Amino acid sequence: MSSLVITLWILNVFFDTIGQVAFKYAAINPSNRDGWHYWSDLFRNHWLWLGIVSYIAEFLLWLAFLTLVPLSQGVLIGSINIITIMIVGRLLFKELLTRYRIIGMILITAGVICVGIS
């Protein structure tokens, strides 16, 4: 893989993770959940907009990435976002790291490495 492909891959995972975290913050932000107020609160939430901007960036980065790699390889190494989300979930939201989760993360990482070097 060329350095451009690797850069696009890392940026993709980065924006995906930022987007998911931003949406999580937007979702858990306490707001007035009453009809119109709910929507007006939601759309004034900065996290929501950060999430949307990240997703637009990710959309374009994913297109650029797929121009350079075969689709089957692209979707496989793209699954590394599962790992980054779990690590961020652990760090920011104190989500559990159970034995099964650790085994799953190791297997996925090993799989991504196999596909990446193929």
Give the residues lining the site for other proteins (CB under 8 A).
60, 62-64, 66-68, 70-76, 79, 82, 86, 96, 98-101, 103-118
Residue among 34 and 99 whose Cβ is closer to other proteins: 99
**Shortest Å, Cβ 16 to other proteins:** 13
Task: Tell me which residue of 85, 116, 86 sits closest to 13, measured CA to CA.
Answer: 85
Distance CA 87, CA 91 (A): 6
> CB-wise, 18 or 69, nearer to other proteins?
69
Provide the minimum distance between the beta carbon of 91 and other proteins in the complex, in angstroms, as a whole number. 17
Min dist. Cβ of residue 18 to other proteins (A) = 18
Residues of 81-115 as b/e, b for ≥16 C-beta within 10 angstroms?
bebbbbebbeeeeeeeeeeeeeeeeeebeeebeeb
Name the minimum Å distance from CB 28 to other proteins. Answer: 16
Are 38 and 32 spatial neighbours (Cβ–Cβ below 8 Å)?
Answer: yes
